[in-house]
Structure 1
Amino acid sequence: MSASEIRERYTSYFAKNGHTLLPSSDIVPKSDSTLLFTNAGMVPFKQFFLNPSAAPYKMVTTVQKCVRAGGKHNDLDQVGYTPRHHTFFEMLGNFSFGAYGKREIIHMAWRFITEELRMPVKMLRVTVLETDDEAYDIWKTEIGLDPKRIVRMGPEDNFWSMGNGEGPCGPSSEIFWDTQDPRYSEKDDERWLEFWNLVFMQYHRSAGGELKLLETPCIDTGMGLERVASILQHKKNNFDTDEFQTIIKSIDQIQPAASSSLSPETALTYKRIIADHLRASTFLISEGVYPSNTGRGYVLRRIIRRAVRAGRLLGIKGGVLSELYPSLETAMGKAYPEIVERRGPIISVIKSEERAFLKTLDKGMALLDGIFANESNDKVISGHDAFALYDTHGFPVDLTQIIARDHGWTVDLDAFDQIQRDSRERNRASWKGGSAKKDVVASEIESACLEWQDLSVQSRFCGYDIDPESSGMPIAAKVVASKELSNSDSLVVIDPCPFYATGGGQQADMGVIAVTRDDASDIKADITHAFTVKNAVALPNGQATLLHLAVVAGGQHALLDAGQQVTATVDMDRRYGNAVHHTATHLLNAALRKVLGNTVMQAGSLVQPSGLRFDFTSNPLTSDQAEKVESLVNQAALANTNVNVHQMTLEEAKAQGAIAMFTEKYSADSVRVVEVPGVSMELCGGTHLRSTRPVYPFQIISEGSIGAGTRRIEAVAGTSASEWLREQLGYAQAAAQTLEAKKLSSLDSKAQQLVAKNKELREEIDKWLQTAAVNVEAIATHATTLGKTSVPTTIHILAPQMETADNRRGSSGSGNMRLVSERACYLRDTQPRSAHVVIQGNAVALGVDTKCISGARAGVLLRELFVMLPGKGGGQDTLAQGKLQSARSPQSSTPVVLWLNGGPGCSSFSGLLGGVGPCRINDNGHGTLPNAHSWNSNAHVLFLDQPTNVGFSYGATVNSTVEAAADVAQFLRLFFDQFPQYSRNPLHVTGESYAAHYVPGIAAQIVKDNRNPTIRHKLPLKSIAVGNGLYDMATQFMYLPQMACNSTYKSLADEKTCRAMEQAKVEFEKSLQVYNLTPSPEAMVNATYAGYDILTPYQDAGGNPYDVRTKCEGGSLCNPYMERIAEYANQPWIRADLGVRIDSDFVLCSTDVQDSFINTGDELVDSSEWIPMILAAGVRVLNYAGDADLICNHMGNKAMMLEIQWPGNRGFAAAADHTWLVDGRALGEVRSFEGLSFLRVYGAGHMVALDQPVAALAMLAQWLDHSAIII
């Protein structure tokens, strides 16, 4: 039983027994400051055990995420070395706050383990408190357990309390499993594995230790998921269970062959450490814990660094956890979707920490190796060495302990602790008037900021007075406060201060602080000490800037004292670079608003000397829009307009149209406004240019999505842009030289020629591989021997011969007869004990030594071979030749087409019996007729009801495309495992309507899985095709009024209906703006319903949203034929033939599934953003639309396709629409460019295959034939 199934069975069982299923609480306790992490299932409910009447639910069940690493409850050192210890684990629990007591939980627990989990009674025993006769009697009398299996224990084992103080407490009963370890007898504790603890909280312990019965007894139970999984999966070690093994097997994939000298047992220990630590670090980061040198962050740092070191010992040179993340998603992503949704930030944090440690790991190990090489000492790492490893090389002391243990050494922890305390005391002594509690530089800076703010330390920022285009002059200043850091750097506040502190997206100034003699007449002269300014940080109240200083290389260490005179010089190159890109950011914001509209909102920015990053709310930019934005910025730059700065009240700034950051807080009394007249006006505290000219040239480097509705532009300006352009020119010139293009202008054509040739060769290889696969499979099945005398036969498949100048004449890619004949003769002469069949393409030769194999004749054997593989040929006794009739057999080359209907929530029965499949419902609804235009005439078609609970399917609820896609990809792999004869056939994923979400999502999942080395079965996906699909509601629904009221068909909507639809469209736009500003789940759902409200006036007037030519006739999709499908599916004999459950009615479209998708905001997600990834993987994409459909009309579909951001965007936009002809008849219009095609089908509504079956079948045939739709 898998871990996933155990979770489901446990929670379902207790839910059926009246418990409320609650999600796991956070690993970081929100209401318990005494704990670093949630380490037990009962932690979130402590307050209700203290006051049961306050519990919102009387019976609760959970699967709680727990961490035991650091603090009192610390299993970190044991992980990997024992079978049961983990840093992260899951605790299955059920709790009662007065609803039931000891008797009920014992009965429920026993039924669960013996009936639900089917654990044999003979393998179980229980313990009770030695004085708890009640529990003993329940187990013995009511459960019927043999008294030999009930063991009385003392309070140290079977009495639970909240710590050692007063509060609820009580006896417990633990359930054990017999591991049958042969090393121990039944009397030995080590033989028994405790897996479930039932705590009967029936007493209250007073401060004096007196026990009194509680008025409201409670129940607290905890069952370790990993332990139960090991029992049910018959594993002696938790790490051998399914979820851990998914990760451990992935480690085998990334571990270099023969890269480690470790014994197999030791290597396995390190793999287990890595698997455990991947789980722990992922879930900690997902809840906002980040690596640091204090508290929870330090625990996380220790976990990640231990894993890095384990990976290094296994021979893995780089980061190990980040590489293994996909395996964790596979193992636990369905149970915990947050690790999939937050994969980007989590992997980023892990990679950053791994990189940081890898930089010092080798040096630290070299230090340790030197220590271990000294055999003269007593094999103890001194406290000084351990502290050096910690302080200089980032080795947590427990990691040093592990390494020492592996070498038979120990660490002098007492000395280490003393040295660490001394270091902290030195830091405290250097801080005037305060105390630093943390020994990390970042924490010291944070502490200094807070302390100096409390002391009202102030300084005036004078950096605005410096011309960013000047060389900069030293400014005289006085030290206001100072502090030495533990790394010998220092912190100071000076007044006045010219250094800009990090803020508003702009990076801080850097520069130099110099100390001069008091009597120096020139502040540039007589410098006695110099410090580099590494960073500038504003105090939280903004009243001063704290500078982080380091002594200039070669300089003398000194601490600046309050009152000391210094000179401050800003690094003007850095200041200028920041100013260029900050002014460019304002121009970019203005250009975006001009091109995309004023609904564009800034969502964040980064300004640095080398470039800028700008985040904003918007749909994807088209190539034309990006070019226009870039052009507008360059025009504003070349205009050389002055950049003006004003101080005014917030109200005045708003009245003048100044733009403010949505998330920033501003003073109402005075704000700083930066204005480029006629172009931009923003509230901003950053440093800027005096005029716009230095921004030129401005170049957008990239534009893409960073989240739902949020885009990011990265760009460079000024000299940075010039350098970037020179670099790109260098790349282009190198490519031109490689491709032998004499001019850069011919580079594109040369590249296209190369791509075309590459495509041709790939197709040739594909054909050969399919032929080879079929031949090998067929021959291996039937032809290990040939002839009546069972001649041993060996098959040899040769790679296809590529065309060259030498072989262009007289040969072809289908095979070279001379080559296969020569090879057959060679094999016949050198290996005479077997007949040899040599195949290249469709060329076949068979050689046999008739002297060695009596009675064998090559010609006869070849004819027998052609019985199994159709072909023609003949020959002599020792050599025969021939050709296969077809390079592809029908079985291997006939495509497999997966068909999905939409909804969300509609069954694919409507496709099976609605124009796509081999049958259709007859007029009386109780039988079927052949479909003359079935897609099965060109493909094996697989109709799938998904997500779960659609049609006859059932299972755990799925309410998002991402979840559904993962399920379908897994189903396909299982299907092809079950039916391997189809596993190599080209796969095409198709559907209609909401399948425009499913199909791209599934394709993207397949592309991702095919790249995952841990997934064995790669799916041969070749294309996707969707009819009248809903990809991007925000774009497509804007065309609903136009299609209803102004299409090429006569409109059935009156003027009132059309006005109402236009007004609803305006409301939809407003709801989208609200969502883009505050992307909450509620705003997303509201926007979804607002989109559908555009259709409401049309439907209220009787219009058919699936065909603008007709009124709605009732029934599903306004089509009575669809109701006949539902009636047919509900007939008992149909259910029996399909083998589906009899206890539920078939519903063509489930409103429950649709509502669940809407409530998660899935319908508003833009699934077209998967298409660039799909195209980049070589998978072709077809979007077709019946031009009479309203809800997913061809206008909106085409507009959506024009907005897809992929390298062929411009080519697709520039491509012409051509008439689509089938047998001389115009059936539609088609536009194609490279792998992307759009087909408008004339005279079809929402369901093209049902309305225009001839056109649908012709489209399929042309598309599957690897050609674009014929024009």
Structure 2
Amino acid sequence: MTGSEIRARFLQFFADRGHTMVQSSSLVPHNDPTLLFTNAGMNQFKDCFLGAEKRDYLRACSSQKCVRAGGKHNDLENVGRTARHHTFFEMLGNFSFGDYFKKEAIAYAWDFLTKELGLDTSRLYVSVYTTDDEAADIWHKQEGVPRERIFRFEEDNFWSMGDTGPCGPCSEIFYDNGSEIGCDSPNCTVGCDCDRYMEIWNNVFMQFDRQPNGELIPLPKPAVDTGMGLERITTVMQGVQSNYDTDLLRTIISYIENLAEKTYGDNEEHDVSMRVIADHSRATAFLIADGVLPSNEGRGYVLRRIMRRAMRHARMLGFEAPVLYKTAIFVLESMALAFPDEAKRSSFVAKVVQNEEERFILTLGNGLRILQDEIAKLEQLQQKTIPGETVFKLYDTYGFPFDLTADIVEKDGYILDEAGFETCMEEQRKKARAHWKGSGEEAVAGVYKELIEQGIRSAFSGYQSLEDQSEVLVLLQEGQQVEEAVCGEKVEVICSTTPCYGESGGQVGDTGAISSDEASLRIIETRKPLPNLLVHSCEVLTGAIHHRARVKITVDAARRLQIVRNHTATHLLQAALQKILGEHVKQAGSLVTPERLRFDFTHFSPVSPQELQQIEELVNSEIRRNNTVSTREMASDEAIAAGAMALFGEKYGDLVRVVEVGDFSMELCGGTHAKAAGDIGLFRILSEGGIAAGVRRIEAVTGDTALAQVHEQQQMLSQIGNILKTDQANLEQRLHKLLEHQRQLEKDLEQLQSQVNANLGGDLLSQVQIIEGIKLLAVRIDGCDGKQLRELSDQLRDKLQSGVLVLTGNFEESVPLLVAVTKDLTDRVSAGNLIKPLAALVGGRGGGRPDLAQAGGKDAGQIDNLLAAAPMRLKDILQG
């Protein structure tokens, strides 16, 4: 039975028993800042378990793609070296939200394993929480599992979502791989750390609500969360001992064998490399398909660590050119039946991976040289620890993650100074903290979740109208519900309906006004902390606003108009980018404000001025076509099949809102838009630049702001024309002539300066001193910078033929200093040694080669003292 067949039979088994098949959620968790990646099947149902989200089903099943690769630096070291460590894996799960509980969950698990898959019951064992007699009795009396095969554990058999909230006991199922596997201990049994008794299924029974004081209160509707690793159950069904020997991963390894022209099983180190590439190719392909891009922070950094470890192992297999992009494509194509949406993004994934590989190959050689030099020093000292500063330099300058460096040096018996590395990292964190961006989403305040649990909902009516009558459902001050807020106070107002758009999807929230018979309020901003909850942040201007008051809510219409122009323009911009630059362009972020729009997109090189002009012209052409902007609700699958653009990894419901601008643009979008493209008026690009590897950013303006920008540029050109005494038509020609004239003047000036230096050099030679038989010229030349001193020193050395020069002077409130030594004397006098004590006299420091050194100081008042000290310092050096 193949892994794909097991996945399909699992989902169908539970679908036949009333479970709704739910598609795997994105690897980027939504509304959960505590998680870097989706790491369990229950992640997408978290709000269902908490009661904050209601769905139209009480039973669900899924095959969830998961990534576990965060945390300690050495997390990745075991991947490829053990039978079951992975970065990417699939979790099969069935879930109940207050429907069935222990009896049914246990029966489903046992039936699927023993009847559907036909596992030998004599090789199955179970565990329960220490005090969970109910589960133990169900296993024994209902399913016939002998008491001696039921184990009780405490630490591993109780699960909680956090320090507080839903929690409950677990019941696990183990498969006995046989006495020939494992630790050979006569006491080996379930719970041993060896591979003999392998956990294949975990039932979590959420039946308590843990209070802040630790008290466990029974939940009114207990829930079930179960999980079974697809890779593990496939090893059992295919009779192999390693997950890498299942068809889920062995097919990828076979593909790598062909590319590398090596045979799996011939060389253990090569085998490890093939397993690493196979596993990491899965994680790489699916993370990028879900919108994660390699970077130096957050999720992107974890992805980069995974990719670079795979790239390093590719080189160990003999690959010199990029290869990971090929294995990533193979992964997506071979898993297309289970994950069709991800497979459609394979060309984009390949471009991202290949771009990262090419960058890494450029830096790898330099980094390896640094590492080899360090190892050579350690060999001389007979030490085996790479200093933390070196490890950090490799990370910071050459992009070597900690565990990649550990991988490289491990075979030679070296270890890394992790404490020293962490000290350097902490120093960097302190410097960067002001600019730090979290990788998770903003945490949703608990009060909003409580309101949802209480049934509080607010409907958005702002697609149709900018004004609405409503009722105040909740008033909040400092996170607490209040009955009223009076003049001068700030308050959050939640109403039954509102025409104000809550900030989401990159579009800022509306401002406006709320009024009742007794009060008037200014809406500072509108937010959407949770689906179906719109929160107005307000200031009470007059009177007092009361809970349950009837109010009129009015949107700032002029501001909304500017926002909708910019938002519709982002849709036209994205379509134009795809048409001009290629289908690989995907949205990577956006910001829509009244003043401007910002659009981040995936692309692998700067957009040329010609391309920017084409993009701007195409958007303005669509504005002039003035197509109607239409919206409709569709089933999400139907909309995407029809060609609607969706954000990578975005969480969409069964029904989605589709925004179309004629036949030019079609996107899934919940934002507000212009009625027709012509409402935008004018579109102007302000800037384009890179913000991350493979991600570009365009900033633009529309409407009145764009027109004002045109006028501003026109006025600037007129002013420049007046300064240059020409009209705009001849401005470019006039500038070329002026620049050519300037270049000629600079050449003439250089020639004159050379002549002056030559004449000056002759005069200066009269000041030569003889120190210990060596000529010394120490003089002050004001008005010369470092470059001019160097030019003069060349001429003076030629005339001096043998000797030492010390040149200094006052230049724009600084003190440049130069020491030059003719080649015949560098074995006796080093310019670098002479300049240091002299530079200190003027409050500076410097250094250089034996024949030439330069420095800079700040204290011009000490120049004469410096020149007086020069003969003594030279004498000290000559006398040793």
TM-score (norm 1): 0.36
Deviations 1:1089-1113 (A, max 9, x none): xxxxxxxxxxxxxxxxxxxxxxxxx
Q: CA deviation at 1:178?
A: 0.8
SS at match of 2:305: helix
Change (3 A) 1:4 1:439: closer
Aligned to 1:345: 348
2:292 and 2:300 in contact (8 A); partners too: yes
Aligned to 2:259: 254
SS at match of 1:84: coil
Taking the aligned partners of 2:610 and 2:10, their CA distance within structure 1 comes to 61
Change (3 A) 1:663 1:194: same
Q: CA deviation at 1:380?
A: 0.7
Q: How many residues align?
A: 506
The reply to whether residue 160 of structure 1 matches residue 159 of structure 2 is: yes
More strand by share: 2
Aligned to 1:306: 309
Taking the aligned partners of 2:620 and 2:31, their CA distance within structure 1 comes to 45
Deviations 1:1013-1037 (A, max 9, x none): xxxxxxxxxxxxxxxxxxxxxxxxx
Q: CA deviation at 1:12?
A: 0.6
Aligned to 1:85: 85
Deviations 1:728-769 (A, max 9, x none): xxxxxxxxxxxxxxxxxxxxxxxxxxxxxxxxxxxxxxxxxx
1:39 and 1:73 in contact (8 A); partners too: no
Aligned to 2:139: 139
SS at match of 1:135: helix
Between the two proteins, what is the percent identity of the paired residues? Answer: 42
Aligned to 1:940: none
The reply to whether residue 412 of structure 1 matches residue 411 of structure 2 is: no
Q: Read off the aligned partner of 2:207 and give its amino acid letter.
A: Q
Q: Read off the aligned partner of 2:702 and give its amino acid letter.
A: Y
Q: CA deviation at 1:173?
A: 1.1
Taking the aligned partners of 1:133 and 1:146, their CA distance within structure 2 comes to 14
Q: CA deviation at 1:540?
A: 9.7
Taking the aligned partners of 1:177 and 1:316, their CA distance within structure 2 comes to 39
1:389 and 1:395 in contact (8 A); partners too: yes
Alignment of structure 1 residues 891-970 onto 2, 5 Å: none
Taking the aligned partners of 1:390 and 1:224, their CA distance within structure 2 comes to 34
SS at match of 1:246: helix
Counterpart among 270, 274, 277 of residue 274 in structure 1: 277
Taking the aligned partners of 2:613 and 2:158, their CA distance within structure 1 comes to 68
Aligned to 1:548: none
SS at match of 1:671: helix
Q: Read off the aligned partner of 2:229 and give its amino acid letter.
A: G
Counterpart among 164, 167, 178 of residue 180 in structure 1: 178
Taking the aligned partners of 2:616 and 2:224, their CA distance within structure 1 comes to 61
Taking the aligned partners of 2:408 and 2:167, their CA distance within structure 1 comes to 41
Taking the aligned partners of 1:233 and 1:670, their CA distance within structure 2 comes to 64
Taking the aligned partners of 1:214 and 1:542, their CA distance within structure 2 comes to 47
Aligned to 2:298: 295
Taking the aligned partners of 1:42 and 1:8, their CA distance within structure 2 comes to 19
Alignment of structure 1 residues 309-320 onto 2, 5 Å: 309-320=312-323
Alignment of structure 1 residues 98-497 onto 2, 5 Å: 98-153=98-153, 155-163=154-162, 165-182=163-180, 183=182, 184=184, 187-188=187-188, 189=192, 190=194, 191-256=196-261, 264-373=267-376, 374-375=378-379, 376-426=381-431, 435-437=434-436
Q: Read off the aligned partner of 1:212 and give its amino acid letter.
A: I
Alignment of structure 1 residues 726-737 onto 2, 5 Å: none
2:683 and 2:703 in contact (8 A); partners too: no
Change (3 A) 1:18 1:72: farther
1:26 and 1:287 in contact (8 A); partners too: yes
Q: Read off the aligned partner of 2:214 and give its amino acid letter.
A: G
SS at match of 2:320: coil
Change (3 A) 1:103 1:426: closer
Aligned to 2:836: none
Aligned to 1:1168: none
Q: CA deviation at 1:126?
A: 0.9
Deviations 1:233-267 (A, max 9, x none): 11110011112111111111111569x9x971111
Q: CA deviation at 1:403?
A: 2.1
Q: Read off the aligned partner of 2:178 and give its amino acid letter.
A: Q
Deviations 1:857-894 (A, max 9, x none): xxxxxxxxxxxxxxxxxxxxxxxxxxxxxxxxxxxxxx
Aligned to 1:1000: none
1:383 and 1:419 in contact (8 A); partners too: yes
Q: CA deviation at 1:150?
A: 1.6
Change (3 A) 1:126 1:390: same
Taking the aligned partners of 1:212 and 1:173, their CA distance within structure 2 comes to 20
Taking the aligned partners of 1:115 and 1:427, their CA distance within structure 2 comes to 57
Taking the aligned partners of 1:690 and 1:298, their CA distance within structure 2 comes to 50
Q: CA deviation at 1:134?
A: 1.7
Q: Read off the aligned partner of 2:114 and give its amino acid letter.
A: T
Deviations 1:48-90 (A, max 9, x none): 2222894542111111111101137994332111111111111
1:322 and 1:350 in contact (8 A); partners too: yes
Taking the aligned partners of 1:104 and 1:337, their CA distance within structure 2 comes to 32
Could you list the runs of 5+ residues in structure 1 that have no partner in the other structure? 429-434, 441-502, 508-537, 545-574, 605-615, 620-649, 676-688, 695-1271
1:75 and 1:86 in contact (8 A); partners too: no
Q: Read off the aligned partner of 1:178 and give its amino acid letter.
A: D
Aligned to 2:39: 39
Q: Read off the aligned partner of 2:140 and give its amino acid letter.
A: K
Change (3 A) 1:669 1:411: closer
Taking the aligned partners of 2:593 and 2:626, their CA distance within structure 1 comes to 32
Taking the aligned partners of 2:204 and 2:427, their CA distance within structure 1 comes to 45
Taking the aligned partners of 2:156 and 2:289, their CA distance within structure 1 comes to 35
SS at match of 2:251: helix
Change (3 A) 1:365 1:14: same
1:160 and 1:169 in contact (8 A); partners too: yes
1:302 and 1:399 in contact (8 A); partners too: yes
Taking the aligned partners of 1:366 and 1:19, their CA distance within structure 2 comes to 57
Bigger relative contact order (CA 8 A; separation at least 6): 2
Q: Read off the aligned partner of 2:292 and give its amino acid letter.
A: V
Taking the aligned partners of 1:68 and 1:257, their CA distance within structure 2 comes to 29
Change (3 A) 1:233 1:382: same
Q: CA deviation at 1:141?
A: 1.8
Q: Read off the aligned partner of 1:372 and give its amino acid letter.
A: I
SS at match of 1:283: helix
SS at match of 2:702: coil
1:307 and 1:320 in contact (8 A); partners too: no
Q: Could you tell which deviates more after superposition, 132-141 or 183-192?
A: 183-192
2:623 and 2:680 in contact (8 A); partners too: no
Q: CA deviation at 1:31?
A: 1.3
SS at match of 1:668: helix
TM-score (norm 2): 0.52
Taking the aligned partners of 2:129 and 2:679, their CA distance within structure 1 comes to 76
Aligned to 2:20: 20
Aligned to 2:704: 668
1:424 and 1:439 in contact (8 A); partners too: no
Taking the aligned partners of 1:655 and 1:438, their CA distance within structure 2 comes to 36
Taking the aligned partners of 1:300 and 1:391, their CA distance within structure 2 comes to 16
Q: CA deviation at 1:404?
A: 2.8
Deviations 1:893-940 (A, max 9, x none): xxxxxxxxxxxxxxxxxxxxxxxxxxxxxxxxxxxxxxxxxxxxxxxx
Change (3 A) 1:598 1:668: closer
Q: Read off the aligned partner of 1:177 and give its amino acid letter.
A: Y
Aligned to 1:50: 50
SS at match of 1:48: helix
SS at match of 2:359: helix
SS at match of 2:138: helix
Q: CA deviation at 1:216?
A: 1.4
